Amino acid sequence: MNIISVIHNEKELHWRQMLKCVWSLSIPAMLAQMTYIVMEYIDAAMVGSLGAAASASIGLVAPVLWFVYGVGMAAVQGFSVQVAQFIGAKKLQYSRDTFRQGLICVTAFALCISAIGVFISPYLPGWLGATPEIYVGAYDYFQVYMFGMPIVMLRILATAMLQSSGSMKSASFFNSIMCVMDIGFNALFIFPAGYIALLGIDLWWPGIGLGVRGAALGTVAAEGVTACILLYLAMLRRKYTRQKEGMKWHITKDCVVDALKISCPIALEQGVLTGAMIVMMVIVAPLGTVAIAANSFAITAESFCYMPGSGIAIAATTLVGQSVGAKKPAFAKGFAWFSLGTGMFTMGALAAIMYVAAPAVFAFLTPVRTVQDLGVEVLRIQLLAEPLFALSIVGAGALRGVRDTMFSSIMNLASMWGVRMPLALYLVGIYGLRGVWTAMCLEICFRGLLFLVRIYKQKWENRGSME
């Protein structure tokens, strides 16, 4: 289905057409997210086979990496939302120029973030309360990943530009291939050389044996290959973002100011969310290695439920943004509501599956029985909130399409720091890790209801200049 043609050529859309548009963009994005989840599961299992300390070392610094990743996503969306709206308005020259400026700004930003991350990497595990057994692994993993952050952010930018132009399938396909490459690179870098049994045949595996550091190297290598492919597609193959000889590589005030207006609230939102996760890790760290590992694995397992919601949110941003650009607020409103319904249904169904499958999932992720038991228990608490979690994830995506990004930041700030943190600090002393996850569950339900109210009251006309 050509979504752009539908938005421009139809005066009205039946609910079946809207639902078809939502699913046609959501399914490729969800598949990409699901394959990314599979990659996370296999990565976790690979590292988990090294023991609870190795898993805990990655789990300790993971919230900080999410913070960096989230801020990078915010920088990218400052340009990708503009591109979606320019395409909706049939202003292809503007969309191509915005992409070029995005390349310049995101690359410069990524280099700065990378330098800061590498500089603080020796001190970060200590700041987070690392015990001696996980300190070195946490430092190694974080440092290597931060060296590769410019590559990661260019891959994110190319993916977002393809998605904003409606090319969900190619973006999803190559991000899926990245997951396969990540598994191969991780196996190469993590484990030592030796013979492995495959279909009854002993084969020599040329492993390097870098352990936790190898997990970060494997991920960065897979990101690098994928970034090259996606940048080629976005810059030379996709007509809405194609770059041609003679185009000027410069930065304009209007584009950057518009990008900042979109990005800064999203960056604040991501900072609030991931900053709270960092504080939550500081709360969890004193509970010991088993609790840190169980917490990390539970977050990985939960991603099976909420990452597809992130895929639907990407579709919502594209559909709402292009509808706003085409000056069809009724389409934008309809796409927002159908995206919300799709997200709640999908995440609720996956939560039910995960509730039953949790013991088997944790048995796959780690051989340590105490980590398995605690992880299953806390994960099942959180799964009760997944349908309402969908409201905040998909709702934020829909609001980004209409440039209403400040609300998400304010509500996340109020919810995370006004509800989750006080509850977690109180309950951790009584129930340990179970108390922390109970606080998360209650806060997510509260936040989802806030987003539902905002979507209900939203006005869906264009909120910013596209000139």
Alpha-carbon distance of 286 to 123, in angstroms, equals 18
Alpha-carbon distance of 145 to 186, in angstroms, equals 13
pLDDT, position 200: 66
Give the mean model confidence (pLDDT) for residues 253-280: 84
pLDDT, position 285: 84
The string of DSSP codes covering 354-365 is: HHHHHHHHHHHH
Report the run of H or E that residue 206 belongs to, with start and end: strand 201-208
Q: What is the pLDDT of residues 407-443, one digit of tens each?
A: 877 888 889 889 999 999 999 999 999 999 999 999 9
Q: Which two tokens mark 30? A: 């969800």
Give the mean model confidence (pLDDT) for residues 59-75: 85
Give helix 433-457 / helix 253-284 axis angle, nearest 10°: 150
What residue has token string 């993590």? 190
* 467 pLDDT more than 50: no
Mean pLDDT, rounded, of the chain: 85
Give the mean model confidence (pLDDT) for residues 318-344: 86
Report the run of H or E that residue 309 belongs to, with start and end: helix 289-325
- Strand intervals (E) in 241-333: none
* 13 pLDDT more than 80: no
* 315 pLDDT more than 50: yes
Q: What is the pLDDT of residues 188-212, one digit of tens each?
A: 998 888 776 655 677 777 889 898 8
401, exposed or middle or buried, with CB in 10 Å at 0-12, 13-18, 19+?
A: buried
CB-based contacts of 457: which residues, under 8 Å, 6+ apart? none
Q: Residue type at 445?
A: C
Alpha-carbon distance of 255 to 101, in angstroms, equals 8
Q: Which two tokens mark 400? A: 């980004």
Give the mean model confidence (pLDDT) for residues 268-293: 84
Give the mean model confidence (pLDDT) for residues 450-454: 93
* 242 pLDDT more than 90: no
Report the run of H or E that residue 293 belongs to, with start and end: helix 289-325
465: confidence class by pLDDT, cuts 50, 70, 90: very low
Q: Please name which of 112, 448, 165 lies closest in space to residue 306, comparing C-alpha atoms.
A: 448
* 156 pLDDT more than 80: yes
pLDDT, position 40: 64
CB-based contacts of 229: which residues, under 8 Å, 6+ apart? 174
* 84 pLDDT more than 60: yes
Q: What is the pLDDT of residues 168-179, one digit of tens each?
A: 778 888 888 888
Give helix 329-365 / helix 433-457 axis angle, nearest 10°: 170
Give the mean model confidence (pLDDT) for residues 57-75: 85
Better-predicted residue by pLDDT, 51 or 455 = 455
466: confidence class by pLDDT, cuts 50, 70, 90: very low
CB-based contacts of 249: which residues, under 8 Å, 6+ apart? 100, 104
Print burial letters for 28-58: b (CB count within 10 Å at least 16), e (below 16): bbbbbbbbbbbbbbbbbbbbbebbbbbbbbb
Asked if 163 and 318 count as a contact pair (C-beta separation under 8 A), the reply is: yes
Q: What is the pLDDT of residues 86-144, one digit of tens each?
A: 887 888 888 899 999 999 999 999 999 999 999 999 999 988 888 888 899 889 999 99
Q: Please name which of 439, 433, 438 lies closest in space to residue 421, comparing C-alpha atoms.
A: 439
Its pTM stands at 0.73
Better-predicted residue by pLDDT, 393 or 324 = 393
pLDDT, position 51: 80
Alpha-carbon distance of 425 to 302, in angstroms, equals 22
Q: Which two tokens mark 97? A: 């120029």
Of the given ranges (111-115, 255-259, 332-336, 450-454), which has the lowest mean pLDDT?
Answer: 332-336
Better-predicted residue by pLDDT, 28 or 330 = 330
Asked if 449 and 455 count as a contact pair (C-beta separation under 8 A), the reply is: no
pLDDT, position 384: 94
Q: Residue type at 412?
A: N
Alpha-carbon distance of 142 to 137, in angstroms, equals 9
Give the mean model confidence (pLDDT) for residues 379-386: 95
